[in-house]
C-alpha cells in the first residue's frame, strides 16, 4: 500500500478502489493523431500486416455512413476521404526521425522496398516513442530534432510504402528507429461511436471496426476546475441548524508534487488531479463533517470535455460512505475474501447555456450503494459554474441538505 492509513481495512478498500480507477497513472498519455471521426481498419494482431513483433499497431481510415472509404471509383488517392488530411502529434516530444522522400503508390499497388513509406518517430520519454507512417511526401511541417507539443500538425496522410490505399499507421515502440518492435499501449482518452451516442474511453486500445474521435476540452469547465496551487476559496454555507458558516480552502502542492485542497479550520484535505480531460479526487483525509468532504463527494470525478452527453462512471472506497456499525464490522471481516458492497458515482452535465465565454453550466452527480440484490441512492449533488469559475454546489442525502456558495480570492 503506497500510502498508509493505519488501518488494514481502509488500506484494503483504498487499494482495491484505486487499482482500477487510477490505472492510467502507469501510462504516459497519448492522444489520437487526427481530427474528426476515423475508423480502425486494422488493429492489434491484424490479419494483414500487423504480425509478430509488429503486431501492436493500428491503421486508421475515414469512412462514410455506408462504410465506404472513398468517393467516386476509388482509383485515385484523392478519392479517399483520409487522403491529405492533417496528422497531429499524439503527445509532447522531440522529433527523432523523419523519412520524406517516397512517392505515393497507385491504388492497389505497394512499395515493399520502402515498407513504412514516409514516416515520423517522436520521442516522448526515455524508452517511449511513437511512429506514424504512410504519410504524403513533402507535407511535413516539422523537422528532425524539433520539439513538438500535443496536437501540433506533423504532416498529411498519404499512400506511401506498403500501403495499397491511403491510411494512417500508428504504433508505439521502445526504440527510435523506423520499424522497431511495437509496444502494447493504449490511447489515453477518445470517443468510441456507438449506436446511441459517443462513449468516452479511458486508457483503452480500440478494436477493428471501431469509429473513433479525439476529445476536445470545454474551456468553460476546464477553467473552473483548474485549481492552481496557492489559490484560496471562501465558502459560505448554511448548516443543518440554519446557521451561516464559512470555510476557507487553500490549495497546495506536497513534497511529491501532488496537488491538494486544505481547510485549516477542520483539518480536512482532499487530493486532486486535472489532466485536461478529467478532474478527479484521489484521496480524502480528515473530518467527514467538513464542507470539503461533501465537495469531495460532489466533484469526485468531472468530465472537462465538450460532449454534454457523456456520463462519467466511477467508484468510491467503501470506507468513504457511512454504514451501520454491525454491517461495517461484518463487511470489514469478510472483505479480504469478498466485497459485497460497491459505492458507485456518476456525473453528467445537467444544463448548460454558454455563449461567447459567458453563461452557466450545471453538473449533476449521484452516489449509490449496491449490495446483495439491493441498490440504494445515497446522495445527489449539483455543481454550478459561471465564467468566473465554480460559483457553488448543493449536496443532499437522507440526513443533510447543504447549499454552498464559493468566492475565489
Could you tell me which of 197, 218, 226, 223 has the C-alpha nearest to residue 354?
218
Indicate whether this model's pTM tops 0.85: yes
Instruction: Give me the numbers of helices (H) and strands (E) for the chain, helices first please.
Output: 4, 24
* Chain segment 256-310, per-residue pLDDT in tens: 899 999 999 999 999 999 999 999 999 999 999 999 999 999 999 999 998 889 9
Region 18-45: what's the mean pLDDT? 92
Helix (H) / strand (E) element for 222: namely helix 219-224
Query: CA dist 60 to 42, 226, 331, Å?
Result: 7, 33, 48
Positive or negative torsion for Cα 303, 308, 313, 317: positive
Given pLDDT bands bounded at 50, 70 and 90, which one contains residue 211?
A: very high
Q: Do 240 and 400 touch, CB atoms closer than 8 A?
A: yes
Environment class of 64 (CB within 10 Å of its CB; exposed 0-12, middle 13-18, buried 19+): exposed
pLDDT value of position 22: 86
Residue 323 pLDDT greater than 70, yes or no: no
* Chain segment 115-168, per-residue pLDDT in tens: 999 999 999 999 999 999 999 999 999 999 999 999 999 999 999 999 999 999
Q: Cα separation of 135 and 116, whole Å?
A: 9
Region 177-200: what's the mean pLDDT? 94
C-alpha cell of 380? Answer: 445527489
Residues 6+ apart with CB under 8 A from 328: none
Alpha helices in 273-318 (DSSP H): 291-298
pLDDT-wise least confident of 63-77, 91-105, 347-361: 347-361
3-state DSSP assignment of residue 1: coil
- CB count in 10 Å sphere of residue 207: 11
Residues of the chain with pLDDT > 90, as a percent, come to 73
Per the model's pLDDT, the better-predicted residue between 339 and 75 turns out to be 75
pLDDT-wise least confident of 21-25, 27-31, 328-332: 328-332
Going by the DSSP 8-state scheme, the letter that residue 296 receives in this structure is H
C-alpha cell of 394? Answer: 448543493
Amino acid at each position: 500500500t503506497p500510502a498508509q492509513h493505519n488501518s488494514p481495512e481502509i488500506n484494503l478498500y483504498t487499494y482495491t478502489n484505486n487499482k482500477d480507477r487510477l490505472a492510467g497513472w502507469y501510462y504516459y498519455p497519448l492522444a489520437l493523431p487526427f481530427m474528426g471521426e476515423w475508423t480502425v481498419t486494422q488493429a492489434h494482431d491484424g490479419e494483414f500486416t500487423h504480425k509478430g513483433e509488429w503486431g501492436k499497431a493500428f491503421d486508421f481510415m475515414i469512412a462514410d455512413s455506408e462504410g465506404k472509404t472513398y468517393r467516386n471509383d476509388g482509383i485515385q488517392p484523392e478519392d479517399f476521404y483520409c487522403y491529405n488530411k492533417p496528422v497531429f502529434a499524439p503527445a509532447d516530444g522531440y522529433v527523432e526521425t523523419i523519412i520524406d522522400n517516397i512517392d505515393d503508390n497507385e491504388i492497389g499497388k505497394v512499395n515493399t522496398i520502402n515498407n513504412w513509406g514516409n514516416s515520423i518517430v517522436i520521442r516522448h520519454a526515455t524508452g517511449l516513442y511513437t511512429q506514424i507512417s504512410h504519410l504524403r511526401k513533402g507535407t511535413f511541417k516539422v523537422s528532425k530534432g524539433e520539439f513538438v507539443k500535443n496536437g501540433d500538425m506533423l504532416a498529411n496522410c498519404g499512400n506511401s510504402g506498403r500501403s495499397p490505399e491511403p491510411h494512417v499507421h500508428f504504433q508505439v515502440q521502445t526504440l527510435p528507429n523506423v520499424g522497431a518492435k511495437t509496444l502494447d499501449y493504449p490511447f489515453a482518452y477518445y470517443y468510441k461511436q456507438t449506436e446511441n451516442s459517443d462513449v468516452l474511453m479511458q486508457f483503452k486500445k480500440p478494436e477493428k471496426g471501431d469509429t473513433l474521435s479525439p476529445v476536445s476540452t470545454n474551456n468553460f469547465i476546464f477553467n473552473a476546475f483548474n485549481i492552481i496551487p496557492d489559490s484560496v476559496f471562501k465558502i459560505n454555507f448554511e448548516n443543518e441548524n440554519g446557521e451561516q458558516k464559512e470555510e476557507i480552502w487553500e490549495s497546495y502542492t506536497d513534497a511529491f508534487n501532488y496537488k491538494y485542497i486544505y481547510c485549516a479550520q477542520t483539518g480536512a484535505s482532499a487530493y486532486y488531479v486535472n489532466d485536461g480531460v478529467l478532474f478527479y479526487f484521489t484521496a480524502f483525509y480528515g473530518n467527514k463533517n467538513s464542507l470539503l468532504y461533501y465537495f469531495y463527494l460532489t466533484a469526485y470525478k468531472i468530465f472537462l470535455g465538450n460532449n454534454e452527453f457523456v456520463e462519467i462512471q466511477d467508484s468510491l472506497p467503501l470506507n468513504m460512505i457511512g454504514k451501520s456499525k454491525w454491517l461495517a464490522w461484518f463487511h470489514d471481516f469478510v472483505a479480504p475474501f469478498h466485497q459485497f458492497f460497491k459505492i458507485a458515482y456518476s456525473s453528467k452535465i445537467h444544463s448548460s447555456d454558454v455563449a461567447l465565454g459567458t453563461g452557466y453550466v450545471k453538473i449533476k452527480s449521484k452516489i449509490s450503494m449496491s449490495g446483495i440484490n439491493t441498490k440504494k441512492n445515497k446522495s445527489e449533488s449539483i455543481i454550478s459554474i459561471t465564467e468566473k469559475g465554480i460559483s457553488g454546489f448543493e449536496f443532499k442525502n437522507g440526513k443533510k441538505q447543504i447549499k454552498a456558495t464559493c468566492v475565489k480570492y
